[in-house]
Amino acid sequence: MSELIGKKIVEVRDMTEEELKAEGWDGDTVMCLVLDDGSKLYPSRDEEGNGGGALFGVTPEGKTVYHYLGGEKMGYTHYLYQQKTLNKENFAKVVEDFKKIMPVFEHMGIPLASWNGEGKPEIKATEISFNGLEKCGHEERNLGITWPAKGAKGVNMVCKVNKPEPTDTMVTQLTGVQEELSVNDSDVDGTWFAGCKLNSRTCGGDCSHESFILRRTFKKPYPGATPCDRKEDPEFSKWFSCCKTAYKPYDLAVISALIIAKHHLGKEICVHSDGGNEDWEDGRILCQKMLGYGNDFKLDEE
């Protein structure tokens, strides 16, 4: 690393779409440090380059500073294990059924976009990829890193906004500074160590979070993608990916897509979640009413 000595950082920005694709990280939001000689540095989550990572440091005064994916790409997550290549006919059924329920999200006011939070969802024969809409127009407020409260359900686009309060979160532990969080808003039900607990799917002025990507042929890597082999179960040799939704409105589209995928793909995939089966009730109801199945969906056992 001696070649970095004497170099100056002249720009700090997010990696471009082209840079992300070159690394196979499309779907992540990763910081890029540009040096005065044109070199570019960006953090990886591991030595194999299986996605973008985080930077931590300390100031001369001993204050901890950090930058991680997208600034706030943490929190409530759904997990998928899939075979490298999924059955073509079954995957076509997944795509067909997801297209059938797309109008429901529009009717409910859930803004869906492409994987990067802009444009339109990409629903095609080989791939389903989408995110929430970054510039959604909803009330801007600081909810921290969100998590569903016990019994949380539904989608909320309008809430009563009250005065925020200084709140201890993990940011306080890292920096010593309390965050001004919207803990008194009508769709908030307490806090956890990183931010607000929500009583329904909502956002703080940005409906995007981490992209949901389901490909018929697994392309390594994309967000969270790693090979997963369990030696104690010779039938289980699948590739792992995940989608952190932070319980934003598009979370309903994510769990619905996974319910559809599980119905048609069966043992080709395994679905896990930070939530329990009760947190997937909205998706089960939606799929049952629109597609005639869903009530029997259960998360796979860990």
Asked if 251 and 212 touch (Cβ cutoff 8 Å), the reply is: no
End-to-end CA distance of the chain: 41
Domain boundary among 35, 67, 99: 67
Question: What is the pLDDT of the chain when averaged over all its residues?
Answer: 85
Q: Identify whether residues 81 and 216 lie together within a single domain.
A: yes
Q: Helices 88-107 & 281-291, crossing angle to 10 degrees?
A: 100
Q: Residue 153: pLDDT above 60?
A: yes
Q: Identify whether residues 154 and 33 lie together within a single domain.
A: no
Residue 219 is assigned to a structural domain of this protein: yes
Q: Identify whether residues 104 and 166 lie together within a single domain.
A: no
Using one digit for the tens of pLDDT, what is the confidence trace for 90-106? Answer: 999 999 999 999 999 99
Distance CA 254, CA 121 (A): 12
Using one digit for the tens of pLDDT, what is the confidence trace for 210-225? Answer: 999 999 998 754 444 4
Residues 6+ apart with CB under 8 A from 74: 68, 145, 194, 244, 246
Asked if 238 and 226 touch (Cβ cutoff 8 Å), the reply is: no
Q: Which of 294, 236, 293, 291 is nearest to 269 (CA)?
A: 236
Q: Which domain holds residue 171?
A: 147-198
Q: Identify whether residues 191 and 271 lie together within a single domain.
A: no
Residue 142 is assigned to a structural domain of this protein: no
Q: How many domains does the chain have?
A: 3
CA 96 to chain centre: 23
Q: Identify whether residues 63 and 82 lie together within a single domain.
A: no
Residue 296 is assigned to a structural domain of this protein: no
Residue 95 is assigned to a structural domain of this protein: yes
SS3 state of residue 11: strand
Residue 218 is assigned to a structural domain of this protein: yes
How much is the pLDDT for 28?
65
Residue 62 is assigned to a structural domain of this protein: yes
The percent of residues above 70 in pLDDT, for the chain, comes to: 84
Domain boundary among 49, 67, 85: 67
